[in-house]
Amino acid sequence: MKTFEYTITDPVGIHARPAGILVKEIKKYASAVTVIKGEKSVNALKLMALMGMGIKQGDTVKVTVEGADEDTAAAAIEEFFKANF
């Protein structure tokens, strides 16, 4: 399992459209991706649940990536967070 932490810099946080692109990005990989904020964790393929976490600017989230392609997936997803959130 691969893990990284990321602090949201986008002023609107993880909002609808970027969350939508995130789901698309994750669908490219076989690994299961989980986004964790505090005690809440969601499967990152679940768009509405992800939006429902209300992740805002300044929040630090932990992302876990687990599966056959976790090395490539984790690196790509971390890049995606940096570029979009």
Partner 1 sequence: MISIQGKGVSTGVAIGPLYFYQRAKSTIRRYEVEDEQAEWNRFKDAQAKAVEQLGELAEKARAEAGDEAALLFETHQLMAEDLDYEEAIQGLIQDDKLNAEAAVTDTAAQFAEMFAAMDDAYMQARAADVKDVSSRIISILTGVVQGGIDSPVPIILAADDLAPSETVQLDKSKILGFVTEGGSGSSHTAILARTMGIPAIIGVGDQLKPEYEGREVIVDGSTGNVVVDADEATRTRLLAKQEEQRKMREMLEQLKGKPNETKDGQSIRVYCNIGGPDDVHAVLSNDGGGIGLFRSEFLYLNCDDYPSEDYQFEAYKQVLSDMDGKEVVIRTLDIGADKQIGYFNLPAEENPAMGNRALRICLNRPEVFHTQIRALYRASAFGKLGIMFPMVTSVWEVKEAKKMCERVKAELTAEGIPFAEDVEIGIMIETPAAAVMSDRLAREVDFFSCGTNDLTQYTLACDRQNADLGRFYNPHHPAVLRLLKMVCDNAHKQGIWVGICGELGADLELTETFLSIGIDELSVSPRSVLPLRQKIRETDVSAVREKVLGDLLSDENAL
Cα-Cα-Cα-Cα dihedral sign, residues 39, 77, 79, 11: negative
CA gap 80, 85 in Å, rounded: 8
> 4, 10, 15, 47: which is the annotated catalytic residue?
15
7 contributes a contact to partner 1 by CB under 8 A: yes
Q: Does 38 bind partner 1 (CB under 8 A)?
A: no
* Rounded least distance, CB 62 to partner 1, Å: 16
Which residue lies nearer to partner 1 by CB, 3 or 7? 7
User: Strands 2-7, 40-43: parallel, antiparallel or unpaired by DSSP?
Assistant: unpaired
Which residue in the set 32, 36, 49, 76 belongs to the binding site for partner 1 (CB under 8 A)?
A: 49
Distance CA 65, CA 46 (A): 15
15 is catalytic: yes
Please check whether residue 67 is in contact with residue 7, taking contact to mean a CB–CB distance below 8 angstroms. Answer: no
Could you list the active site residues?
Answer: 15
Q: Which spans of this chain sit near partner 1 (rule: CB under 8 A)?
A: 7, 9, 11-13, 15-17, 19-21, 23-24, 43, 45-49, 51-52, 54, 56-58, 82
